[in-house]
Structure 1
Amino acid sequence: MVPSRQRRLRVAGRLLVWLAGLLMPTLALAHPLQAGLEAALAHYRRLAADPAVQAAWNEPLPPLGARKLVPGKPWAGLPILVRRLAALGDLSPAIPPPARYEGELVAAVTAFQKRHGLETDGVIGKDTLAALNVPPARRLRQIELNLERLHQLPFAPRHLLVNVPEFVLRAYAGNEEKLRMKIIVGSARNKTPTPLFVEEMRYLEFRPYWNVPPSIARKELVPRLRRDPAHFVAEDFEFHDGHGGAITTLTEENLDAVLRGRLHLRQRPGPKNALGGIKFAFPNHDNIYMHHTPAVRLFAKARRDFSHGCIRVEEPVALARFVLNDDPSWDEPRILEAMQSGQTRIVKLPEPVPVIIVYLTAVADDPGKVSFFPDIYGLDALE
């Protein structure tokens, strides 16, 4: 990601606090995630000050010898690995270093991977090795940085918290977490990050059209349609003029009109639609929203930054139930019916729900277990 974009996201994170104060004037003092991270802070302070723990990081783990270490293989780094995992609480201190990488040590590495947002395959590769080499003193600084972000963040009794580097959405009612689900966020690799802000979700749109943003049309879709004209019909695209008129014929003239801004591309509602069956709208300057997606296979990935900035949700029906305040007239069968059949329909929420998009690379739901996540947008490095 380019430095200027990183700086904009960092500034956005600071403005988020100010915006939250404007949007949510009757706010509590602390977020429910704060207590767990404060306990983790105290724990890592002890680790960072313990000479025996420090000694486990005095020398780096040796090279793997191959691209990765798989179960059943020997490795010169096993004694150091055992000491580190025991110090971090992922492995019992009573476990002696084995001759080969196997058994409880593989299980401990898998637990470590889960806490660090890595693929939980028990295989030690480049990313897992890098995370294992981070000493507690650096993790302590990471906790301090994220706790500072949480301390400054007010919250409303009912709100949605979108944590970008964790790829997780949480829904809160008071101090209680009511819902948690996987999400997909803006891509760091393609330099389309999800911006950080606070806005209010105001309505749902069932069976939405996907109005292709001009940047995506220009850089991706128009070139694709010129290479593969059949894609236009196969994926249910059409042109529209912004005044209700739809054109279902693909021509070079119409593609040129899209590039000049006279026409726009959109995808009709249905099983091919990129937004799936439902869109969650919280109007903002960046035109970011949450939505369902037909590409559900991507939720199985550990790292889930694949979008152009919008937020794809794994459990759209559960999220709809929450933001509709569990309205009995909008039960699961009715929501599914609205997503799968009928016309495009906008449903106003009974009351706006604040959406807080944050950047926390350290989270402790359980006071005894802190999770760290890769700094995908490079924001921790700027602090």
Structure 2
Amino acid sequence: MRKLFRQSSACIIAFCLSFSGTSVSAANETAQVTAFKQAVAESISTNSGIAEFYRSNGYQPVWTGNGPEFAARRAALFDAVSRADVHGLPAGKYRADALLQQMRDANSVRDLGLVEAELSRVFVIFARDLQSGLLDPSRVDTGIAREIPRLSPADQLSGLVASDATAFFRSIAPQSRQYLALLKHKIALEALMEQGGWGLDVPVAKMEPGDSGPNVVALRNRLVAMGYLRPTASPRYDDALREAVQKFQAAHGLETDGIAGQGTLTELNRPVSERLQAVIVALERERWMPRERGERHVLVNQTDFSASIVDQGHVSFQTRAVIGKNTSDRRSPEFSDQMEHMVINPSWYVPRSIVTKEYLPKLRANPHAVSHIEITDRQGRRVNRGAVNFSQFSSRSFPFSMRQPPGKSNALGLVKFMFPNKHNVYMHDTPQKDLFSREVRDFSHGCIRLADPFGFAYAILARQEENPKDYFHRVLDTGRETTVRLKKPIPVHLIYRTAFIGPKGEVEYRRDIYGRDQKIWEELNKAGVVLPSVQG
């Protein structure tokens, strides 16, 4: 390909020299320039962004001019698209071979203009895919409500022209720690697939410390191959093996009991190809994220059932979380927003969907049902339940609102954290503390419940209160619903990652509880993204 590229480049340079050469008349030179411009204009007429750029620069060449900067741009483009699959993109989409053939076949100035336009078209598509993702996430799953920051074609081309070509192409892909480490791990997994993967599966039969036999040996061998256990000849489920099982469990979001039960063995037996698929999906997801996450931000990874505060790239606080139940109307969405305030001693204003779907049927049967919830009219006045015939109302005609006053039994607990959004999703305390001991924690109506909301509040307030704990409890002890504004809003990112890089640089995996990553993979596959042919 490189030899072919050099030949095509030589051909183009010859054409470029004819633009400024002295061997042609001024009239002929003008005709050639006009033919070039017309070819470019016609070819890009259906792409308003590219057309805008060329109109603004007078249809001057970006790729096919004569000089080292033009050669550098061509070389950088072909080098980048030839390695698109490294980033989990479909190399065939960018038609490098066909583009080289078009360059080689060019035998007129008009052809040169068509080559110029095609190079820009390929560049814009590639730059968009690598910078902000191949897919439109909301079309894959409506729960991925992420607004993708895409640069216009004109801005992409302007940025290229104003920069060193090699440096510009390096800057297109996300530069986050997650993205770069995932890329490295993707390459390692591909090499592992070529070598045959992690070996034989482990029989799915419960094993625990003290056991021995062929199943234990198979478990030992798998953990050694995966790097969780140093090579050993021991046939027993000893302390070293138990610790290795716990390491594996921790890295896969499982209960770290050191027992190889069905759940642990199911995750242990997943092939390299499946883990590689998760990493490729994670790379696409990382391209959807805003480049600037915030020097301090909140990160909720739904598959990990965790909420963290991240300061300058390091997790400074983390707590367990409960997310939306895996049903069509309760799954937690993915999006980014800004936390603006917290409410201490909150009331719970019951969402209309819960009022009509869950509470109205109960009120029809018994007007005094769910008595811990107040029923109010449009003026906010409390309704006398005994004076209302609830059976006359449908879900559409029900004229009342419902509210649970502040208190320890309130559905939101004693504090909620607000980042106003169209999904009506926020983070809050809960009286149902027992749920945080579960391994899989999808129980809410979509909001994020926190195991340690007080600790979370102290950490949030630490930037604006000298003694955040004392301040929080002074407000809490009043028993009154109180809004506490944040002096500096904090970015909040609700993400969903089945593959991510842990704090020590190790890759971790989680289960695809909502099936979203499977949908993303299917769409990537349709777009031409494929795994290596050797399966592990």
TM-score range, shorter chain: 0.7 to 0.9
AA partner of residue 61 (structure 1) = V
Alignment of 1:371 with 2:508, yes or no, is yes
Asked if the contact 2:307–2:318 (Cα under 8 Å) also holds between the matched residues in 1, the reply is yes
Alignment of 1:147 with 2:283, yes or no, is yes
State the SS of the aligned residue for 2:243. helix
Shift of 1:270: 0.2
Alignment of 1:246 with 2:382, yes or no, is yes
Q: Which residue of 2 aligns with 1:211?
A: 349
Q: Which residue of 1 aligns with 2:358?
A: 220
Alignment of 1:261 with 2:398, yes or no, is yes
The separation in 2 between residues aligned to 1:17 and 1:179, in whole angstroms, is 28
Is the alpha carbon distance of 1:230 and 1:118 closer, same or farther for their aligned partners in structure 2, counting shifts above 3 Å? farther
Asked if the contact 1:164–1:360 (Cα under 8 Å) also holds between the matched residues in 2, the reply is yes
The separation in 2 between residues aligned to 1:225 and 1:276, in whole angstroms, is 24
Q: Which residue of 2 aligns with 1:232?
A: 370
Shift of 1:114: 1.7
Which structure's CA Rg is the greater one?
2
Q: Give the alignment partner of residue 49 of structure 1, picking from 163, 184, 194.
A: 194
Correspondences of 1:96-111 after superposition (within 5 Å): 96-99=233-236, 101-111=237-247
Is the alpha carbon distance of 1:194 and 1:326 closer, same or farther for their aligned partners in structure 2, counting shifts above 3 Å? same
Q: Which residue of 2 aligns with 1:156?
A: 294
Shift of 1:87: 1.6
Q: Which residue of 2 aligns with 1:62?
A: 203
The separation in 1 between residues aligned to 2:265 and 2:463, in whole angstroms, is 45
Give the TM-score of the pair, scaled to structure 2.
0.61
Instruction: Return the structure number with greater helix share.
Output: 2
Shift of 1:135: 1.8
Q: Which runs of 5+ in 2 are unaligned?
A: 1-136, 151-172, 522-536
The separation in 1 between residues aligned to 2:394 and 2:467, in whole angstroms, is 38
Shift of 1:184: 0.9
Shift of 1:7: 6.9
Shift of 1:380: 1.4
Is the alpha carbon distance of 1:9 and 1:118 closer, same or farther for their aligned partners in structure 2, counting shifts above 3 Å? farther
Shift of 1:228: 7.5
Which segment drifts farther, 192-201 or 68-77? 68-77
Q: Which residue of 2 aligns with 1:293?
A: 430
Shift of 1:232: 3.1
The separation in 2 between residues aligned to 1:113 and 1:163, in whole angstroms, is 17
The separation in 2 between residues aligned to 1:87 and 1:182, in whole angstroms, is 31
Is the alpha carbon distance of 1:75 and 1:339 closer, same or farther for their aligned partners in structure 2, counting shifts above 3 Å? farther
The separation in 2 between residues aligned to 1:89 and 1:342, in whole angstroms, is 53
The separation in 1 between residues aligned to 2:207 and 2:329, in whole angstroms, is 32
Which segment drifts farther, 312-321 or 165-174? 312-321
Q: Which residue of 2 aligns with 1:124?
A: 260
Q: Which residue of 1 aligns with 2:420?
A: 283
Asked if the contact 1:40–1:364 (Cα under 8 Å) also holds between the matched residues in 2, the reply is no
AA partner of residue 316 (structure 2) = K
The separation in 2 between residues aligned to 1:32 and 1:11, in whole angstroms, is 27
Q: Which runs of 5+ in 1 are unaligned?
A: 1-5, 20-27
AA partner of residue 350 (structure 1) = K
Alpha-carbon displacement from aligned partner over 1:226-261 (angstroms, at most 9, x marks no partner) = 67877634xx31111243212364666257658433
Shift of 1:29: 5.5
Is the alpha carbon distance of 1:209 and 1:41 closer, same or farther for their aligned partners in structure 2, counting shifts above 3 Å? same
AA partner of residue 267 (structure 2) = A
Is the alpha carbon distance of 1:63 and 1:293 closer, same or farther for their aligned partners in structure 2, counting shifts above 3 Å? closer
The separation in 1 between residues aligned to 2:491 and 2:463, in whole angstroms, is 16
Q: Which residue of 1 aligns with 2:224?
A: 86
Q: Which residue of 2 aligns with 1:381?
A: 518
Q: Give the alignment partner of residue 478 of structure 2, picking from 316, 341, 344.
A: 341
Asked if the contact 1:12–1:196 (Cα under 8 Å) also holds between the matched residues in 2, the reply is yes
Q: Which residue of 2 aligns with 1:25?
A: none
Q: Give the alignment partner of residue 10 of structure 1, picking from 121, 141, 145.
A: 141
Asked if the contact 1:289–1:310 (Cα under 8 Å) also holds between the matched residues in 2, the reply is yes
Give the TM-score of the pair, scaled to structure 1.
0.83
Shift of 1:166: 0.9
Q: How many residues align?
A: 361
Q: Which residue of 1 aligns with 2:30?
A: none
The separation in 1 between residues aligned to 2:425 and 2:149, in whole angstroms, is 19
AA partner of residue 182 (structure 2) = L
Is the alpha carbon distance of 1:248 and 1:328 closer, same or farther for their aligned partners in structure 2, counting shifts above 3 Å? farther
The separation in 2 between residues aligned to 1:248 and 1:119, in whole angstroms, is 48
Shift of 1:217: 2.4
**Aligned Cα RMSD in Å?**
3.1
Alpha-carbon displacement from aligned partner over 1:89-129 (angstroms, at most 9, x marks no partner) = 21111x22415x44322222222122111222233333222
Asked if the contact 2:340–2:490 (Cα under 8 Å) also holds between the matched residues in 1, the reply is yes
Is the alpha carbon distance of 1:161 and 1:30 closer, same or farther for their aligned partners in structure 2, counting shifts above 3 Å? farther
The separation in 2 between residues aligned to 1:207 and 1:258, in whole angstroms, is 32
AA partner of residue 410 (structure 2) = N
Asked if the contact 2:409–2:431 (Cα under 8 Å) also holds between the matched residues in 1, the reply is yes
Higher relative contact order (CA 8 A, sep 6+): 1
Is the alpha carbon distance of 1:227 and 1:17 closer, same or farther for their aligned partners in structure 2, counting shifts above 3 Å? same
The separation in 2 between residues aligned to 1:228 and 1:70, in whole angstroms, is 51
Asked if the contact 1:119–1:302 (Cα under 8 Å) also holds between the matched residues in 2, the reply is yes
Percent identity between the two aligned chains: 32
Q: Give the alignment partner of residue 303 of structure 2, picking from 117, 140, 165.
A: 165
